[in-house]
Amino acid sequence: MKFSVLTLFPELIETYTTTSIIGRGVASGAITVEAINPRNFTTNKHKKVDDTPYGGGAGMVLACQPVIDAYRSLLPLNPKAKVILTSPTGQQFTHSLAKQWAETTDQLVILCGHYEGFDERIVELIPELEAVSVGDFVVTGGELPALLMIDAVSRLVAGCVQSQESVENDSFYNGLLDFPHYTKPAVFEGLEVPPVLLSGNHAEIEKWRKAQALARTKAMRPDLLDR
């Protein structure tokens, strides 16, 4: 799986994707990550990538030319590529979407918004663009949403996470929240680990975990059960 990120702050992408599990995925060749800076494609002497909005108002708008030229530098894309725009106007990013991308896409191109957003003509000039939102809130730029998507998708790419069982036990993988986890010591400040986890009876442990996942989902995210 290849991730191509158009960003004004490539160091944010590069720093995160060279550490921890994602960094190991890159090192192993399971995934590759490249950061493309639209500022390197500007045709003005000041290397400006934004300008004031027509019609007035606060903030700056990302201009067409550097973003479009940066995107076109990636062409031709992999036939199974998907092009994503980080935007609050898009469909909600979910585990199901991450799983779909991991299974059907070979390249994920992510355009990171900034300031007041993109000139709308960018969307018109890239008809394959799909807007995706990571939640009903606003952050400074699209790098954090992009990294969330990269991380979530990478975990589902074979060879990125060492233990497939760990991935399959994650929240949302089977439509439920994860069950509670415990480790040593068995008693801490008077709080004990549930006895079933110390019993060695794997059938009962599995039954307990499924029941806990169901109960936790019902209490905290009943909407998941409705789906």
Domain ranges for the chain, please list them.
2-164, 169-226
2-164 and 169-226: same fold? Answer: no
Q: Does domain 169-226 have CATH number 1.10.1270.20?
A: yes
- The pair of structure tokens assigned to 212 is 């806990």
What pLDDT is stored for residue 175 in this prediction?
A: 81
Of 3.40.1280.10, 3.40.630.30, 3.90.180.10, 3.40.228.10, the CATH number of 2-164 is: 3.40.1280.10
What pLDDT is stored for residue 172 in this prediction?
A: 65
- 146-to-30, 180, 194, 226 alpha-carbon distances in Å: 18, 29, 39, 29
What pLDDT is stored for residue 169 in this prediction?
A: 55
What pLDDT is stored for residue 226 in this prediction?
A: 82
What global pTM score does this model have? 0.85
What pLDDT is stored for residue 165 in this prediction?
A: 55
Catalytic machinery residues: 88, 116, 155, 170
C-alpha to C-alpha distance for 130 and 98, rounded to whole angstroms: 14
Local confidence pLDDT in tens for the 227 residues of the chain: 999 999 999 999 999 999 999 999 999 999 999 999 999 999 988 889 999 999 998 889 999 999 999 999 999 999 999 999 999 889 999 999 999 999 999 999 999 988 788 999 999 999 999 999 999 998 999 999 999 999 999 999 988 876 565 555 555 667 888 899 999 999 999 999 999 999 999 999 999 999 999 999 999 999 988 87
